[in-house]
Amino acid sequence: MDNSNRAHATQNVHDTASLAIHASDVSVVLGQTRVLHEMNFNVPHGQSIAVLGANGSGKSTLMRALLGILPLSSGKVELMGVNVSHRRDVPWQRIGYVPQRVSAASRVPSTALEVVRSGLLGPGRYLFADRGRRATEAALEALDAVGLADRAHDHVQVFSGGQAQRVLIARALVKSPELLFLDEPLAGIDRASRENLASTLAHLRECGLTMVTILHDMGELTSLVERAVVVAEGHIAFDGTPEESPATVPEEHLHLHESSSRTPHHAPRLTTELS
Ligand SMILES: Nc1ncnc2c1ncn2[C@@H]1O[C@H](COP(=O)(O)OP(=O)(O)OP(=O)(O)O)[C@@H](O)[C@H]1O
Ligand SMILES: [Mg+2]
């Protein structure tokens, strides 16, 4: 890491309350494998960063560690100044997450509207936040932002993979988050929907949204990305401006871990690990 990249990584390290995300020396072990190695990672409020890297490099693991979904083997993560290990103290109502994979485990038939409204609930708190006229209006607005307002009353079980992904994006947007984590939001989504999403996110960015987006190709979101972080084999290999970043991940980082295998995409399941 050169000096300018190190400056990004350690920015405001003495004033972590002013950061949307503060991760220090984060390591994660899954099974027998150390997937993340002492990562340092700070994101000031209002910044939009892209996390790039080869398949299996640790991007989703990093995001899940930042959200406190995966336990850390060492290190610390703070979101909005609160240690994520103190889950009940984290202001989840200000934080949205769109996971990479949607799969078909939901046994209870739910309409798109119900799924999106459920985004207003938090873990163990904010009971009934998804009820009432205002909740419905917010959910319809979020569905409109992903181009699915006309499908609000359809059961998500019959949605295509791309439509289900858009419902999950709406579910994250419904609470007007200040901090939004998106794991490959453009994957499997048609061009009109990608453009729709980009303009919705651009509007939210103008209102100060902090964004962390895992991408393989910045595509429609290029103009929304201020900073690029490249993950390679569980390390931060680059942290700087998108212009300076390798346009594609460097060749030497493109091999998969021996043990890695890409889990196939499943049919839609419309729950997230934060719910
Ligand atoms: N539960 C687990 N047990 C052991 N290893 C795991 C587990 N989950 C993920 N891994 C490994 O951790 C590594 C990083 O996985 P991760 O899903 O974070 O990659 P990624 O960068 O998001 O890749 P992709 O671009 O394919 O989404 C991979 O080698 C993967 O096989
Ligand atoms: Mg991933």
Residue nearest to atom 30 of ligand 1 (CA): 260
Q: What is the DSSP string of 29-93?
A: EETTEEEEEEEEEEEETT-EEEEE--TTSSHHHHHHHHTTSS--SEEEEEETTEETTSGGGS-GG
Closest ligand 1 atom to Cα of 256: 29
Q: Whose CA is nearest to atom 18 of ligand 1?
A: 58
**Three-state secondary structure call for residue 187:** coil
Nearest to 184 by CA among 203, 168, 200: 168
| pLDDT of residue 173 exceeding 50 | yes
Q: Which domains does the chain have, with CATH numbers?
A: 3-79+90-260 (3.40.50.300)
- Which atom in ligand 1 lies closest to the alpha carbon of residue 53? 21
Q: What distance in angstroms lies between residue 273's CA and the mean position of ligand 2's atoms?
A: 15
Q: What is the mean pLDDT of residues 127-155?
A: 88
Give the whole-number percent of the chain exceeding pLDDT 70: 77
Q: 106 pLDDT band (50/70/90 cuts)? A: low
Write down the pTM of the prediction. 0.83
12-57 per-position pLDDT tens digit: 444 666 799 999 999 999 999 999 999 998 999 999 999 999 999 9
Is the shortest distance between the CB of 57 and ligand 1 below 6 Å? yes
| C-alpha–C-alpha distance, residues 99 and 152, integer Å | 21
The response to whether residue 56 sits with its C-beta less than 6 Å from ligand 1 reads yes
CA atoms within 13 A on the CB side of 121: 17
- 142, pLDDT greater than 80: yes
Task: Tell me the two tokens of residue 148.
Answer: 């699915």
List, for residues 192-228, the tens digit of each pLDDT value: 888 888 888 998 899 899 999 999 888 899 999 999 9
**Pocket of ligand 1 contains residue 260 by CB under 6 Å:** yes
User: Which atom number of ligand 1 is nearest to the Cα of residue 231?
Assistant: 21
Residue from 57, 70, 217, 235 whose mutation best tests the ligand 1 pocket (most atoms within 8 A of CB): 57
